[in-house]
Structure 1
Amino acid sequence: MRTILFVFVTLVIGFAMCGENAVICYYGSWATYRPGDGKYDVENIDPLACTHLIYSFAGINEQGTVIALDPWLDLPDNWGRNNYGKFNALKEKNPSLKTLLAVGGWNEGSAKYSKMAADASLRKNFIDSAITMLSTHGFDGLDVDWEYPNRRDSVHGPADIDNFTKLLRELREAFDKHRFILSAAVAAVEDKAVLSYDVPAISRYLDIVNIMSYDMAGSWDSFTGHNSPLHKGEGYNGREEDNYTVELALQYWISAGCPPEKIALGIPFYARTFTLADPNNNGVRAPSTGAGPAGPYTNEAGFMGYNEFCYKMTTETWNKRFDNSAKVPYAFKDNYWVSYDDANSIAIKINYAKSLGINKMMVWSIETDDFHGVCGQGANPLLKAINNALKGNATPNNATDETEEGANTKPTASPVISTSTSAPNPTASTQFVCQLEGFAYNPQDCTSFYRCIRDSKGALVPKKFQCPANLYWSQNDLICNYSYLVQCNLV
């Protein structure tokens, strides 16, 4: 009878989880400590933009007990910030919102999790303490982010594969009594995933399988490459790394036995940066000497949040390209080369995922979206692009011509109602006079707008942006929108 009840409860929860579109958003809590406009606290989260929010990260101690990694930030004790409480209070603004606590992450390593999963008493400590943590602070579930079973500093090696399955099975049995959600973040590409997972087995116990379909190239490589290409791109010629694509990752997980309705496609809200060995050789798979520039907020060489890079593209002269094979953009300036995703490439990926029966999208991570809306697309343009594409409100442009040499970005997507899905094309204006910093409507043309910034001498300088075709600039909403939703007052 107990087995029947377990199967029934699992099926009921699983059906409820799998039946609807989902936007699953990781929140990196350390963004609280970032400087200036990069600071992102719980109060910055839009609780209506995601169906699931995952707080990153908790960890474990040597006894397998789940612990807060930043007690002052996470907990209310000893005059702490109580981020756990604030995070779960977001459900007061959106009662449908589900919150999860992620345990693990890259910095936690693999060794402690390898030891814990191999020992029955440590697994029990992990499960019991997880339930206490979730219940005490009001989370709806747990996301297991062990990076990775049988890899890195693993203690038990190949035994991790079965031990991970055992851990998830025992979590599932315990969680069903509390109706907790159970998800996991997993390696995407086949040659890494086969080292870590029994895919059919773990899929049986998980409600959501978060596929980390990014970091497919980076400054650790000796050549430039796309962070998260949908398909094989320009310059691919049969090397092992050429199999690192979203397409092949999703096909592997489905063919290996993971139901597509449980899969959440991971979408990066960040760029990978490279330094070119030769600035004149600036295509995909061009020789690289290492990491490119860090962003001013994330401060990590070879990495830049979308908010950091889109601002660079609006204030500096970058050459943008679109890889028509991989269906993602890249950009270069001098000896720097950057791979990133924009609203258009995200919509293309989502349409492909939907064709496979995948209706869940995962975001890493919301604090590097353009949450202040400084790049001319309104606040949180990537998150809005995901929601629009899931609802079928975005029609991406699958083939984009290259921009002219020395130009900034140009529109690469068809319009959607809630936000412009293309990067703007800023040009200097000699006629418009800025009154204040920020965005301003063009009194002579409703299809364009200005952003006023200060130059090195502190003077206000206007940069002109063009909305995508058929859209008008809305000064009230600070986005490009359909003309019938915008009041256009020309001089």
Structure 2
Amino acid sequence: MAATLLNLIICAVTVLWAIATTTAIKGIYWLEQPEFPPSAINTSLFTHVFYAFLQPNNKTYELNISDSTATSLTTFTNTFRAKTAPITTLISINTDATLFALIASNPSTRAIFINSTIHVARTFHFHGVDLDWEFPQTFDQMNHLAQLLHEWRAAIAAESVATCRKPLLLTAAVYFAANFFLSKAPSLTYPIHSINENVDWVNVMAYDLHGSWSNKTGAPAGLFDPESNVSVDFGLRSWIQGGVHPEKLVMGLPLFGRTWQLRDPNVHGIGAPAVGSGPGLDGAMGFFQVMDFNNKTGARVVHDMETGSVYSYSGSYWVGYDDPLTVAVKVGYAQALSLGGYFFWAAGLDTTDWKISTKGKGNLKYIQKIVSGFQNNLLKEFSKSEKSTFL
């Protein structure tokens, strides 16, 4: 069975430049910003757009909707309702983990919060709601999350029947792995049964795996990691092995890179010692900024076969990121796993011609060379042991 899946993955990656993606969900999150209004989103590239973020009030537990927020929500949905191609819109809800834990812990606060999300989504003509709880910290909180999702689904179904409207979508943004194996509570695991039963899908945040908070460089969204389990591959497999239906998994793709300042400019591979963050806001740069950095500094660009990622360096500065090629490989990989789709974080960080979002094809011979390297890496990953299987 593992060999059969391996063949599927290799086939998907090998022909990815020649096929059009048939993935159902092609999402992107949009943060309110005057420099990049929702009308600037190329809707031909996406099926779902998430409005980020709304927040619950810490006293009433209802969503905070000021006059300016109401105007923004109306503008957002009106923008996409005016498009010829249908676009599905969702409100994404985020706040500090402590408030989410409080809301989820009590039946009455759960009901207030849930009813508010449904009311706001319907009032402003959204198609669904998305929970961005980063992250439940205890076993009790995971159990409360399971109950929250169960009651949320029931309320959505009841509202649909009462109003004779199509049920709202219910999604959630989640950790890159099904369990928090890097935390102080390594056995802490998401409520898989509740996710399967109650959400339409989860957005797996398969990025920020490494950053300048570490004293060595790393692939922020590496498909593989030969040294550890901190990789997109391991994270997705953990969800599938944990029991989540693959079609309920949507893979996150970053439209940004993470930067470091090298301790020694002559030591510049993945894992090179670093002394802090490099250029960009808090050690982060949008993809368009990475391209500008590469062009202005004449940075050396390296596609790393071991991790399935790309990085560039110039002088003492080092940037790890995804480019059109690594994204195309990841999409082919996700298709081979029968995932529900992919999403990007976040709108406005791609180039003006959407190089990553369109999964640019580039030079065929060059892509063949890179794909060959990824194939060899896939073969190594799947030959380690039978434990590597997704089944």
Q: Confirm or deny that 1:128 pairs with 2:107.
A: no
Unaligned runs of 5+ in 2: 1-21, 161-166, 182-186, 375-391
Quote the sequence identity (%): 27
CA deviation profile, 1:158-200 (whole Å, cap 9, x unmatched): 2101100100011111112331000000001355275251123
* CA gap 1:204/1:361 in 2 versus in 1, 3 angstroms: same
1:76-475 residue pairs with structure 2 within 5 A?
82-89=71-78, 90-104=80-94, 108-150=95-137, 157-176=138-157, 177-178=159-160, 179-192=167-180, 195=188, 197-233=190-226, 236=227, 242-294=228-280, 300-370=281-351, 372=352, 379-385=353-359, 396-397=367-368, 399=370
| Alignment-derived partner of residue 56 in structure 1 | 52
Residues 204 and 281 of structure 1: CA distance in aligned 2, closer, same or farther (over 3 Å): same
Q: Which has the higher helix share?
A: 2
CA distance in 2, matches of 1:58, 1:394: 46
8 Å CA contact retained: 2:179, 2:189: no
Q: For residues 23 and 223 of structure 2, what CA distance do their matches in structure 1 show?
A: 23
Q: Which residue does the alignment assign to 1:424?
A: none
Q: CA 1:128–1:190 in 2, change beyond 3 Å: closer, same or farther?
A: closer
Amino acid at match of 1:117: A
Contact kept? 1:200, 1:256, Cα under 8 Å: no
Contact 1:47–1:94 (Cα < 8 Å) also in 2: no
Q: Secondary structure at the match of 1:67?
A: coil
* C-alpha contact (below 8 Å) 1:203/1:209 kept by paired residues: no
Work out the CA distance in 1 between the residues paired with 2:341 and 2:30: 17
Q: For residue 88 of structure 1, give the secondary structure of its aligned residue in structure 2.
A: helix
**CA 1:122/1:201 → structure 2, altered by over 3 Å: closer, same or farther?**
same
Q: Tell me what 2:29 maps to.
A: 26
| Correspondence for 1:65 | 62
| 8 A contact 1:91–1:98 mirrored in 2 | no
Question: Which secondary structure does the structure 2 equivalent of 1:284 belong to?
Answer: coil
Q: For structure 1, list consecutive stretches of 5 or more residues without a partner in the other structure.
A: 1-18, 33-38, 76-81, 151-156, 237-241, 295-299, 373-378, 403-411, 413-491
Give how far 1:397 is off: 3.9
Relative to structure 1, the CA distance from residue 394 to residue 318 in structure 2 (aligned partners, 3 Å threshold; closer, same or farther) is closer
Matched letter for residue 117 of structure 2: A
Checking the alignment, whether the CA contact within 8 Å between 2:301 and 2:312 is kept in structure 1 is: yes
Q: SS where residue 258 of structure 1 aligns?
A: coil
- What's the offset of the Cα at 1:399? 2.5
Cα deviation for residue 20 of structure 1 reads 5.6
For the structure 1 residues 358 and 400, does the alpha-carbon distance in structure 2 shift closer, same or farther, using more than 3 Å as the test? closer
- Structure with greater contact order relative to length (CA < 8 Å, sep ≥ 6): 2
SS in 2 for 1:352: helix
Deviation at 1:293, TM superposition (A): 0.8
8 A Cα contact 1:270 1:340, kept in partner: yes
Distance in 2, matches of 1:318 and 1:128, equals 52
Instruction: Report the equivalent of 2:381.
Output: none
Structure-2 separation of matches of 1:205 and 1:218: 33
CA distance in 2, matches of 1:134, 1:325: 43
Q: CA contact under 8 A between 1:148 and 1:196: conserved in structure 2?
A: no
| Amino acid in the other structure paired with 1:399 | I
SS at match of 2:52: strand
Whole-Å Cα distance in 2 between the matches of residues 398 and 180 of structure 1? Answer: 44
Q: Is the 8 A contact 1:328 1:340 kept in 2?
A: yes
Amino acid of the structure 2 residue aligned with 1:351: G
Per the alignment, residue 69 of structure 2 pairs with 74
1:480 aligns with none
Return the offset for 1:220: 0.6
Q: 1:315 to 1:168 in 2, by over 3 A?
A: same
Does the 8 A contact of 1:345 with 1:396 survive in 2?
A: no
Residues 76-105 of structure 1 show CA distances to partners (whole Å, capped at 9, x for unaligned) of xxxxxx22112111122045211000001x
Which residue identity lines up with residue 232 of structure 1 in the other structure?
A: D
TM-score by length of 2: 0.81
Displacement of 1:312 in angstroms is: 1.9
Deviation, 1:48, is 2.5
| CA-to-aligned-CA distance 1:311-359 (integer Å, 9 cap, x gap) | 2222321011111111111011111110000000001111111111114
Residue 138 of structure 1 deviates from its aligned partner by 0.7
- The C-alpha deviation readout for 1:256-299, integer Å capped at 9, x for no partner, is 011111110000000000111111111100111111111xxxxx
Structure 1 or 2, whichever has the larger Rg, is 1
Structure-2 separation of matches of 1:289 and 1:225: 13
Q: 1:288 to 1:72 in 2, by over 3 A?
A: farther
Deviates more, 1:200-209 or 1:161-170: 200-209
Secondary structure in 2 matching 1:381: coil
Distance, in Å, in 1 between the alignment partners of 2:107 and 2:367 is 50
Q: Secondary structure at the match of 1:143?
A: strand
Distance 1:323 1:20, change over 3 A: closer
Alpha carbons of 1:356 and 1:395: their partners in 2 closer, same or farther (altered >3 Å)? farther
Residue by residue, what CA displacement relative to the aligned partner does 1:29-67 show, whole Å, maximum 9, x if unpaired? 1x32xxxxxx21122122222100000000111232122
- Write the letter of the residue equivalent to 2:27: I
